[in-house]
Chains A and B, each alone.
Chain A
């Protein structure tokens, strides 16, 4: 689509509205003359008046709000007055000659609208797939952050469990909406965002996941998740992974109100998945594994030394040495956050001022996150203008723990934590394992090794809305934001990393500062009008732009004498060859959007969106890309023939679109050279190939289709929403490996396709409902599956290359979630060796990668939430449990810490099952290989286990009151709520979770007061 096409479209939009203005009908009898006014008493132009049951008899008001309705049929009639954005009014016509009707502005409740961030749409006329949750709904689940609560409410959204970083408060979650994007192979580092992360929109503007995580949950008015192509198309290619739209609570007119909410929680580490050996077990295991047996056959001094070591340890163990290292770096923490908000004003002007503070300590000592925020909101309305301004600031301070949790998990239980005199030894074992000694993690914990980060953001956003012409509205938004993030790390010269370094090379201080300055803006022209009783048309045209400048500077210096002076001034300078880091980047984007929507008789709805995106991604061959979507919906319950009384609402939806190519498509095909800043010569600048051009590369094209059903019955007692999607990406963009002799080891090419499909749904039943009591059951479910098509054998070499190391394979019909391995029949009781099953079904001891088959899939058959909610008067409660079944997992703890314990790993603590479940002597029916076998075992189906999980994700109990005694202390209303999150989990696989940082459980409380 070219620029001129857009202009023509815009022009035709404008003309259409002009033509639709006048329709003169000759005067006849039974005529009503009247005027339609708004609440301020001004005439409303463009309002539709018609006779109920005779929809063809109707007219609309002129620019002063006057109308003349003729040919009104005989008898008493009902007249309907309606206008977009206004509540419909019905009056009785008994032959009167004139009337004055006042239309009120529609107070849309959250259930009725879809907040897309650019345009707010009526849910009834929306054909896409989107779900909206209010701030209260989120708070019933949890009070820590929006995304955690959203995960429980929205079945299609998933937070990928971070097995490495567990419950680290400083690690941002990895989010997916409707599974993973279709990319084969690794992404280039140029693609800065996490590939599956959705787009976040806060009050209409794009923000980072950090901003959303830092947002105090009490400020949230609503969160909308946009899932299919029809609803995300307005954001173009950025929105390929879905969009999460967050709106904050605006100030309300009225007397000055003060509200306070506080959240208090206790968080404690969850070590239930750890299954480490105690001192006695570890020593026994080491003995059986042959650590104390000399390799030389005859009796030797070496054997004597090993015997001595063993018996000294045994003695210590018998004396009661059994160190439980895991608990050492951990703590139970008390976290709290507070939000104070003052708002008020009159009909013309409203204001709100808020401050918030949050303190989130991690369960590992030394990890912290502090958030201070403030916001000022002003809204002013005069005539056809509305102006609003939002100012926000936030300051986040965070620090990281000095030693990884895994070092504590690795420490042997037969070592003493402390010397008899109470001092902490630095060395646990004074021997070299591959050149490394084993250090006491407890001692390391006390050696300064800090990493602090502070992040300050100021942002301001201005909106101006002008209802400038009849059915036209123009809205302009301008936002600026400045963020600076500074990090400082210091590693003490006493740290063992520096043992052996020269005095002027001990200790390390590094700092970096990143500043982001961004501005963005948007202009939206909206047109919405009812034509007669049947035709409801609205259209929007928007232009937006955004620009972000990033500057990053940093350096590291070394050579410190102690821990007192951590200032770089006290260092001895740079390491040789080091230089300061400095980089600046600018990224810009702009987009044009056309969005039109037509509804006939509120029964048939049509949506169409087209967006043209331009971005400054470096190396892009084509600057602009277009995305489109179209949707239709049929509201069956509005059909005249539909007479099923008990069904309140029944709507079918279908949408299709190409949900944008990711940014990375834009520069894949171009060749890029990079300058060499490190080496120079006397011949001036030099540059070498960073990426080779591939001019034949086609863009990845996806067709995303969505079928949906919305259903409510028995006066809202049953509510069902189901979506099914089918995404076909053809061709795929595949990054394939080449031999190094090709000059590049990784190139992108087009190959085959991928089909992803899945469904998700929400089912709510109100089991019991009286005036004061309500008992509801909610059930959500989701499934996401995908497979490759038309790949043929072109990626066969990648399959071969990966065998026995990686689990993913590329075949037609294979899924990216599949796990491939050679089938195993377990351990032979006679020999302790593993028996494999060949492709032909024969037994063998011989591992052969060619025998591999699909042994499982990481994608669960079904996952979701089962919950119960209950309220009775002022009391309410909710329980939500997550279930996941039908998937498999590669049990890496079994593989690494039970089966494959190498000679070096014998020096570290391992899983208890390495002692009890490994083969020891002929006749043992063991699950794992011989205990003294230190060789590496290839991956086989033995480590692929069914992964069924049931988690008690949230329990909350709340109480609302506006009791009289409260009013005496000037509190208008109060609510209190208690939560327990993730406090119980049952899983079919016993796996270590949280390797560098443990997971945690929490119990918390929130209090809200309105003064």
Chain B
């Protein structure tokens, strides 16, 4: 009997040991994925999730394309798309189907990023005071709210109405929940209110803790995650306020313009010291490597950029896809010499570094847009940056707002920018000078078309070749229908 008892005990022990140890044995990690609850269990995880949004903003459907250098600038008639079967031909003609297609993927991607932001916001509340300290909570929540507003605003500009014409028209759904669900399409007024509301909250959170207020960009590599440095690559306090100024300016009613002016002036006075305009030496590469070097040029004029996304494959994703002169004629975006000379009448203009005279594959002379060409400069981030919002826009907003009440201040703001870009001062035609400045300043940054849209411009120039007549615009040209994939779910 003894021996049997030993068997029995041994069996029971073996089985219970097996049961207890198998839980550990079954826990297998994945190299490329992590479970949500695991991710949000420490501060580092929150920053990993937040950085996920920043990294994804360089997606070809977001700031490396549809929100930046491709669609909006094609719509603004920067580039010559008259070649037969040009990829952007029908978009440049504002054909409905092409408009729909151009933004369809951006819509999907942007809302995925918005969902990401909402998820982080959801976890922020449960982690507040336990996992996250006050600074991290303010920064993470502030940036997430800012990003949510930014992405909604990008879509709002596409799909919303010309606001001053029909503010009550349908715009976009505003997603502020972290469970995927169908949300109603809001009227433009409601959507605008939500965007401004989020920006307001973001500004007050970041205002508490954002190191940008005291340290500026703080471009120092501390190793590790650089949590509180390189603030110009995060949606910082000043960028959020500048964005609020942009949104108000876009809405365009008097009260909005007042608010836009207030915010722009605030940003100018608070941030000008940290975000000065680029000097010629900085642009030529002299400052970076000690000699004027083409491959070290700061073509994006990075110094006054309040917020940029960081794309390590900028050349491949943007330059080689849209602008390289080795592209087939049907894919190339470029302008003619005539267009270029009209765009930059002054030779010393620092922004001329963004263009290069060359030949396309058919041997025609063209001006190639080299702002986003791939380059490498030790210790500098500008070869990877795609500007989203910059100080210069604040000066233009201020100038535009002053235009109908204080000419002196209006010219002062405009000329400050013009001089910073190494061009002469102007003293007449304030509004058309502001428009021209938008054309020069935001090539490849997708702002000009929205300037046209908010002013409901009835005709716009063909920038690529000024010998052509202006293009007349109807309000319908400025408005986009919801993407097919979205429309199918809505009556």
Using a CB–CB cutoff of 8 Å, the interface residues on chain A facing chain B are: 3, 6-7, 10-11, 14, 468-469, 525, 543, 545, 576-577, 583-590, 592, 614-616, 618-619, 623, 670-677, 679-690, 692-694, 737-745, 747, 797, 800-801
Contacts and interface: CB of A to CB of B under 8 A. Distances in A.
Given A682-B310, A801-B488, 14 more contacts: A3-B19, A11-B12, A543-B15, A577-B313, A590-B25, A618-B35, A674-B33, A683-B230, A685-B48, A692-B115, A740-B485, A743-B112, A743-B118, A744-B115
Nearest to A682: B226
Place the interface of chain B in its size category. Answer: 35 or more
Contacts of A616: 26-28
B33 A688 contact: no
Interface stretch (B53-61, B425-433, B460-468): B53-61
Interface in B118-172: 118-119, 172
B474 interface: no
A740 B108 contact: yes
Contacts of A589: 26
Contacts of B175: 741-743
A517 to B, nearest CB: 14
A675 B16 CA distance: 37
A613 to B, nearest CB: 10
A65 to B, nearest CB: 18
B483 interface: yes
Contacts of A745: 108, 485
A468 B3 CA distance: 11
B262 interface: no
Contacts of A743: 111-112, 114-116, 118, 175, 180
Contacts of A543: 15, 18
A683 B58 contact: no
B43 to A, nearest CB: 12
A679 B311 CA distance: 7
Given A684-B48, A684-B51, A688-B53, A587 B28 contact: yes
Q: Which residue, B173, B179, B225, has most C-beta atoms of chain A within 10 A?
A: B179
Contacts of B488: 739, 797, 800-801
A739 B182 contact: yes
Contacts of B2: none
Contacts of B32: 583, 674-675, 677
Interface in B402-426: none
B26 A740 contact: no
B31 interface: yes
Interface string B99-114: 0000000011001111
A589 B113 CA distance: 35
21 contacts: A543-B15, A543-B18, A577-B316, A587-B28, A588-B25, A588-B26, A614-B23, A616-B26, A673-B39, A674-B33, A680-B312, A681-B233, A681-B312, A687-B39, A689-B116, A692-B179, A692-B180, A738-B181, A740-B108, A741-B175, A797-B489
Contacts of A3: 16, 19-20
B363 interface: no
B34 A689 contact: no
Q: Which residue, A3, A618, A670, A679, has most C-beta atoms of chain B within 10 A?
A: A679
Interface in B219-259: 221, 224-227, 230, 233-234
B143 to A, nearest CB: 11
B181 to A, nearest CB: 6
B353 interface: no
Contact of A688 (B112, B224, B490): B112
A675 B489 CA distance: 31
Contact of B54 (A14, A587, A590, A686): A686
A678 to B, nearest CB: 8
Contacts of B489: 737-739, 797, 801
B55 A679 contact: yes
A741 B34 contact: no
A672 B33 contact: yes
A17 to B, nearest CB: 10
Nearest to B227: A683
Contact of A681 (B19, B51, B182): B51
Contacts of A469: 4, 7
Given A672-B36, A741-B173, A686 B51 contact: yes
Interface string B44-85: 000111011111101000000000000000000000000000
Nearest to A15: B8
B180 A7 contact: no
Given A680-B312, A742-B182, A7 B115 contact: no
Nearest to B1: A18
Contacts of B182: 738-739, 741-742
B457 interface: no
A523 to B, nearest CB: 8
A681 B54 contact: yes
Contacts, number: 209
B381 interface: yes
B183 interface: yes
B112 A590 contact: no
A468 B4 CA distance: 10
Nearest to B488: A801
B47 to A, nearest CB: 7
B30 interface: yes
Nearest to B36: A671
Nearest to A435: B85
B270 interface: no
B417 to A, nearest CB: 29
B54 to A, nearest CB: 7
Given A7-B12, A739-B485, A745-B108, A676 B181 contact: no
What 9 pairs between A and B have smallest CB-CB spacing?
A743-B115, A671-B36, A688-B52, A740-B108, A686-B51, A742-B180, A739-B489, A684-B225, A616-B28
A690 B33 CA distance: 8
A917 B234 CA distance: 66
A590 B26 contact: yes
B111 A686 contact: no
Contacts of A586: 28
Contacts of B381: 682
A393 to B, nearest CB: 28
Contact of A676 (B35, B55, B180, B490): B55
B97 interface: no
B59 to A, nearest CB: 9
B177 to A, nearest CB: 9
B11 interface: yes
Nearest to B230: A682
B486 interface: yes
Contacts of B34: 672-675, 687
A683 B225 contact: yes
A545 B22 contact: yes
B237 to A, nearest CB: 17
A616 B381 CA distance: 42
B378 interface: no
Contacts of B273: none
Contact of B31 (A10, A583, A590, A680): A583
B37 interface: yes
B49 A687 contact: yes
Contacts of A801: 488-489
Nearest to A547: B25
A738 B181 CA distance: 7
A674 B182 CA distance: 24
A486 B455 CA distance: 62
B312 A623 contact: no
Q: Which residue, A468, A687, A800, has most C-beta atoms of chain B within 10 A?
A: A687
Contacts of A576: 316
B11 A10 contact: yes
Contacts of B172: 741
Q: Which residue, A468, A614, A671, A739, has most C-beta atoms of chain B within 10 A?
A: A739
Contacts of B179: 692, 694
Given A7-B15, A590-B26, A682-B230, A741 B49 contact: no
Nearest to A744: B180
A632 B233 CA distance: 70
